[in-house]
Amino acid sequence: MQESNDLTRGRVSARLLGFFFPMLLTNTLQQAYTFVDTVIVGKGIGDQALGAVGNLSSLSLLITGFLMGVTNGFSISIAQCFGAGNHALLRKYTAHSLRLCATITAALTLLSLVLLRPLLGFMQTSPALMRDSLVYGYIYFGGLAVNAAYSLCSGILRALGDSQTPFKAILIASAANILLDCLLIFGLRMGVEGAAIATVLAQGISVLVCLEKLRRSSLLRLQRSDFTPDRTADFSLLANGVPAACMNSVTAVGCMVVQGYVNGMGSAFTSAYSACSRYLNLFMLPSVTAGFSLSAFVSQNKGAGHIQRIREGVRTGAGIAFVSWLILGGAMFFLPRQLAGLMLTGADTIALAEEFLRLCGITLIFLNLLFVFRCSVQGLGRPMVPMCSGILEMALRIPVIVLLIARLGFAATAWAESIAWLGALALNWIAYIIYIRQ
């Protein structure tokens, strides 16, 4: 079995698309079992339970988004070493990534468990939803180490050009998650805690699959000397990882503020926003995947000094984003009621979700292109720009929701998202043009 994939050679579109599609299947499966969770919770337990679980989405983005940013930043450094052919430094970076990730995860687990209740209060969580939100949150964040392990292992595999192993891992985990959902929720009647336990256990299975592939890689036969303290290596990794992590978390803060305003409008609005958020997470997958693919592709080619290949790769990624918008944005615009009805049961909540989905279907192209250019800038070794774009997203999202919520009601959430996407896209696109010319 091929243990790595050199993206610095061969036809650009063929290499990039060959790397992209297994990742797309991986991310689709990952979102699919999240989607199944949502459907089972919504239809099996009720809209209120769905609202309680969805109420944690922005808080989850704050915590797990930080971890994903850190591990993705680490993988960029590892991919640049692979592209440059520096396997000794690649092993050192991998070893130090493991150590740094373990330390960061331990701190985040403690913080998330201690601050869960105060943060839910800050978000104006309805008393009717508080108990279920706490139960789900304590279980989910208690298993944060499993989430971190998968993010790091899959990130290292992508850095080496392997997008097939994470797909196999998620394929197995998805089947396990659905079976566990049915057993714990319908069989044992465990409620939202059953959904949380199923998610953590399924993630654990995906970690085991990735670890087995990494264990058999000749490039990653780590020795004790690779773990020797090295401030230069730590700084290099953190210089890529921390800005990416801060970008995700700052974006999440803006989403938490929006979630707070939505919660303040009532549980029906919370349930509608939860369903809409699930659809956004699902429909942005092709562009998220294109971004992750470009992150590895650009990083490897940056390490090898192949700038023209980077330009061609980014054009291919933008094409993926556009086609995705035509298909999935079109579904959001023309079929919003049907989509909302798959998750929600109340006529009022379906009507609210319909309004959000139609507007965001039009502006989804901004989000799609944002992923393409932001990940390309990260791959070029310029992590501060994406971090600043995360700050800009927050700076745009919060005032829009504050100023428009009284006038537009629930529709203000869709406008807040769309304007934040456009502003962040503009910053990353301009930065990409400047850096690629340099």
pLDDT digits (tens, 9 = 90+) for 90-99: 999 999 999 9
Which are the contacts of 122, defined by CB distance < 8 A and separation ≥ 6? Answer: 256, 260
Confidence of residue 61 (pLDDT cuts 50, 70, 90): confident
Buried/exposed 253-279: b ≥16 CB within 10 Å, e otherwise: bbbbbbbbbbbebebbbbbbbbbbbbb
Residue of higher predicted confidence among 234 and 120: 234
Please tell me whether residue 410 adopts helix, strand or coil conformation: coil
Confidence of residue 423 (pLDDT cuts 50, 70, 90): very high
pLDDT in tens, 374-402: 999 998 988 889 889 989 998 999 899 98
> What is the chain's mean pLDDT, rounded?
86
d(CA 390, CA 121): 24
Using an 8 Å Cβ cutoff, are 132 and 47 in contact?
Answer: no
Please tell me whether residue 296 adopts helix, strand or coil conformation: helix
pTM beyond 0.95: the answer is no
**What distances in angstroms separate CA 345 from CA 98, 107, 342, one per listed residue?**
44, 39, 8
How far, in whole angstroms, is CA 176 from its chain's centroid?
A: 21
pLDDT in tens, 297-345: 998 898 888 999 999 999 999 999 999 999 999 999 999 999 988 878 7
pLDDT at 83 over 80: yes
pLDDT at 243 over 80: yes
Residue of higher predicted confidence among 368 and 33: 368
- Element housing 233 (H / E): helix 231-263
Burial of 229 (0-12, 13-18, 19+ CB in 10 A): exposed
Please tell me whether residue 3 adopts helix, strand or coil conformation: coil
Q: Which amino acid is at 307?
A: I
Using an 8 Å Cβ cutoff, are 385 and 377 in contact?
Answer: yes
In this predicted structure, what is the pLDDT of residue 170?
A: 83
Confidence of residue 55 (pLDDT cuts 50, 70, 90): low
d(CA 220, CA 92): 9
pLDDT at 183 over 80: yes
pLDDT in tens, 142-162: 999 999 999 999 989 988 888
Helix, strand, coil percent values for the chain (each to nearest 5): 90, 0, 10
Confidence of residue 52 (pLDDT cuts 50, 70, 90): low
Task: Give the lowest-confidence range in 38-47, 51-60, 391-400.
Answer: 38-47
Burial of 178 (0-12, 13-18, 19+ CB in 10 A): middle
Which are the contacts of 127, defined by CB distance < 8 A and separation ≥ 6? Answer: none
Confidence of residue 1 (pLDDT cuts 50, 70, 90): very low
Using an 8 Å Cβ cutoff, are 301 and 12 in contact?
Answer: no
First to last CA, the chain: 38
d(CA 201, CA 238): 29
Q: How many CB atoms lie within 10 A of CB 224?
A: 7
pLDDT at 33 over 70: no
- Percent of the chain's residues with pLDDT above 90: 37
In this predicted structure, what is the pLDDT of residue 348?
A: 86
